[in-house]
Amino acid sequence: MARERVIAAMSGGVDSAVAAGLLVESGYDVVGITMKMYAPSRPAHAKSCCGSSDFDDARRSAATLGVPHYVLDFQEAFRRTVVERFVGDYAAGRTPNPCVACNNFVKLGTLAQYADRLGARFIATGHYARVERRDDGPHLFRSRHAKDQAYALAQLAPRQLDRLMLPLSDFDKATTRSHALRLGLPVHDKTESQDICFVEGGDYREVVRRLRPEVKAAGAVVTTSGEVVGEHDGVVHYTIGQRARLPASGDGARFVTRIHGATNTIVIGREDELLSDELVGDEVNLIRPERFGNDGVPVRAMIRYRATPTAAVATISSDGRLRLRFDEPQRAVSPGQLVALLDPTSDEVLGAATIALPPSS
């Protein structure tokens, strides 16, 4: 009987290499794929997933595991679905999450199309989360360890989750490295990158300024009451909740409460004005749609990566948008970020949406 084929996304790091290795040990027909997302302008300083050293590391890991390995050029798909969205969001005053877009449109989008051509039912990644396939469809769960990455997968549609394999499941990082050493992988002690892969030098603002020069234009800084109190040096330099680099105002306002890209305006206010009782989300993705009826549904909400889940009530409105009311006001709810919706009593992820604006905006 032919072994089931799995495409293993191999970035050159230890997580994806161990994921591939565990699948080989489980008897799958593994094909390693490294996705070339962009061409670094400074190869010596390239971050993970697109530097030549990362391609070499992925190739060496695949050779150690005895599986075929290919590098595929996904630069156009990545530019269109991730980079352009990233800079467009910042120019509009939103705070994007490019890893979420990459998972949705590239890893479980463009890569899935290649998997179809190769006859692969599943795509495996090195994310720390758990997917269970049941009779009623896929169920996504958070990892029980600090490395949990289910938040970054919460925007995947059920059909995408249904073909996702996460061999690391509930591992912690130390367990992953111990498996890498046991498997003889050359990346067992490789340092983990914490940066956005296409942001060379660590400054995302440089990327936005280069691709959207208009974000460098100066504009007004106003208080929540509408008083003009100064001038900013470009919306790209500011995020919701920021305190530094703001002009003084008569009422002591010191925090960024809103960013209006269309009018090139920064709004500042008191810290209590950063608090929101509710939010509206679009691009709604319901992994377990049966859990959401016409009435409000109790959930726990994560309004950003690594945020502590907080109790809320979720309602899907007639226009398909998410309306979320928190039990306790939340600080610095940021448009453009993902809000993940969790079961109120377990680690299951029920769905997600992109934060649009608090309704009062």
Alpha-carbon Rg for the chain, nearest whole angstrom, is 22
| Enzyme catalytic residues | 102, 197
Query: Which residues pair with residue 290 across a beta bridge?
Result: none
Rounded to whole angstroms, the Cα distance separating 48 from 12 reads: 7
Strands 129-134, 137-142: pairing is antiparallel
Rounded to whole angstroms, the Cα distance separating 28 from 3 reads: 6
DSSP secondary structure, 102-164, as one string = HIIIIIIIIHHHHHHHTT-SEEE---SEEEEEETTEEEEEE-SSTT--GGGGTTS-HHHHTTE
* CA distances, 67 to each of 27, 30, 62, 143, 187 (Å): 12, 6, 5, 28, 16
For the chain, the farthest-separated pair of C-alpha atoms sits apart, in whole angstroms, at 77
Query: Which residues pair with residue 326 across a beta bridge?
Result: 312
Q: Which two tokens stand for residue 6?
A: 């799995």
Contact criterion met (CB below 8 Å) for 91 and 214: yes
Q: Which residues contact 203 (CB under 8 A, 6 or more apart)?
A: none
Evaluated on CA atoms 339, 343, 349, 352, the torsion sign reads negative
